Structure 1
Amino acid sequence: MAPTGDAADHANDPSTEDLKQRVLELNDGRSADIGFECTSVTAVLDQLIDCLRAQGTLVVESMWSKRAEFDVHALVMKELSIRGGIGYAHTIKLVEEGKVDLKPFITGELASMASRARGSIP
């Protein structure tokens, strides 16, 4: 996946790319200090854990609809820290302060039911 606009410096498709290799390339041969899991996909979670350095931090922000499975052995051997959090409040504040431009993320708009009921939208 190629980034568009100023939304990201780099974006990768973990289904077609070696994520760990890409992280090492972008980070002068070093593993990542911190990783954000935002997909609710076990295979991506496993790849992300693999990309973290020893004593790195994994932040899980996605809302899993089922129990997540991951390699506990890797977690223990790398002495990783795991944090959970929902970044909505912080994200909303960044948007309100004009620090994040949402335009690159908007791919279309849906008519609201209220607009349709008023007859302003066919």
Structure 2
Amino acid sequence: MTDKYQALREAAQKANPGPHHIFTNPRDDNNWQANDAWHQAADPTLVLALLAERDSLERMLGAACVDLGSINEALDLDPNDGGAEPILDALGNLKAERQALRDALRAITDQLERVGDTRMHKDGQFIADARAALIWGGAE
């Protein structure tokens, strides 16, 4: 298909811009009015702009696929699974694990405060640090 796009691009680059009337004889083609309208609308400038947009979208799609592959690799997922669903599932699992760790840390600090145990760190700093981690770490 790339050869056809390249041929179309080269033809459009060589053509003069502007709508041109291409004579079509009604006796030669039953669809002559539609063909004439097509020739009027298919300006080389428009064709080149559409091809440039297609090239840009193709580059963006390629970059997005590379990025998704990198994300799959970082999350240790099977690259053959494909699509966003495995990535979204893995992110959901990570969020749940993070919340479970926050909940466990909160339970530990609550217990330490209840029993007044400051032996974990001088002057109860451990508890203050843990509380700060819960607050500033984005606890939900």
TM-score by length of 2: 0.15
Higher relative contact order (CA 8 A, sep 6+): 1
> Which is strand-richer, 1 or 2?
1
Report which of the two has the higher share of helix.
2
Larger Rg: 2
